[in-house]
Amino acid sequence: MKRKIKVGTRDSKLAMIQTYMVIDSIKEKHPEIEIEIVALKTTGDKILDRSLDKIGGKGLFVKELDEALINGEVDFTVHSFKDMPMEINEELPIVALSKRADYRDVYILPKGEVNEAAPIGSGSKRRVLQLKELFPGKAFAPIRGNVITRLEKLDRGEYSALVLAAAGIKRLGLEERINKFFEVEEILPSACQGIIAVQGRKGEEYDYLKEFDCAESHIVAAAERGFVKELDGGCSAPIAAFATVEGDEVLLKGMYVNEEEVEIIKQDIKGTSKQAEELGIELARRIKRC
């Protein structure tokens, strides 16, 4: 008799693709496991007329999934790690992280003629503050909805361009829509951008996820999230962090914005992989002292 597990996910196309990436990894090594998807619409997916900081932050994208996990309706849930809140319920630990995909942000123009009078669309303060240095004098406006919805708004002429995460565009098979990749020297990405997180229940076994799990992603996530947490970075906070691993050494780049003075502060720090979280905390403390 096959073992059956249930996987919880948001019901967007991108969320489904990412969930199937986890499922395919399990099936490759564990064909004896039967997997059922439980798709849920989160509060963050339902409320699209207000910015996230006005309605409760990133937690609104995980609330219903957390409840399903706590109630035993699903065995684990799948998330874009960059969209998860910094504070994670100890009863619902992260049990696996994907290998990091393309971490960069990308610039996307509409199909057909560009409405130059329209703003650049971005729902992220982190992106907008860095974009203002690249596009002085250009107007920016918030945009909500899944990737497909945003692209439709762009193509209708509501925006002159969009800035989105490369990983999501590539996973959706829409790489041909990308007009430019922003390197980290231009736009520092969101913490854990490009990493898929699997969340489970404390005390349960998840051995079937070990082939999906990436040790390096745990190191960079510890550094990046350590930095953001120390700066009390919520959904709307203009904070960015990006770590790379070279052998046993970690290089962490961090960005913080003093909103009172509209000053962007960028610094970096190096250390060993065992110090990853401590490096994030130390870099945050250094920046606070600036």
Rounded CA-CA distance 59/56 in Å is 7
What's the pTM? 0.91
Higher per-residue pLDDT: 156 or 290: 156
Q: What are the tens digits of pLDDT across the range 37-63?
A: 999 976 555 444 445 454 444 555 688
The SS3 of residue 263 is strand
Per-residue pLDDT, averaged over 63-79, amounts to 95
Task: Kindly state the percentage of the chain with pLDDT values over 90.
Answer: 80
In a domain, residue 258? The reply is yes
Q: Which amino acid is at 14?
A: L
- pLDDT, mean over the chain: 91
Buried b (16+ CB within 10 A) or exposed e, 245-280: beeeebbbbbbbbeeeeeebeeeebebebebbbebb
Q: Which alpha helices (H) appear in 30-184, and where do they start and end?
A: 43-46, 52-55, 63-70, 125-134, 147-155, 166-171
In a domain, residue 188? The reply is no
Continuous segment of H or E residues that includes residue 243:
strand 239-246
* CATH at residue 230: 3.30.160.40
Higher per-residue pLDDT: 279 or 238: 279
In a domain, residue 190? The reply is no
What positions carry a catalytic annotation?
Answer: 83
Q: Are residues 201 and 282 in the same domain?
A: no
Q: Are residues 86 and 208 in the same domain?
A: yes
Confidence at residue 153, expressed as pLDDT on a 0 to 100 scale: 96
* CATH at residue 33: 3.40.190.10
18 within 8 A of 196, measured Cβ to Cβ = yes
The residue among 128, 159, 182 that closes a domain is 182
Higher per-residue pLDDT: 124 or 259: 124
Number of domains in the chain: 3
Q: What are the tens digits of pLDDT across the range 180-192?
A: 999 999 999 999 9
Range of the domain at 239: 214-290
Q: What is the CA radius of gyration of the chain?
A: 19
Confidence at residue 151, expressed as pLDDT on a 0 to 100 scale: 96
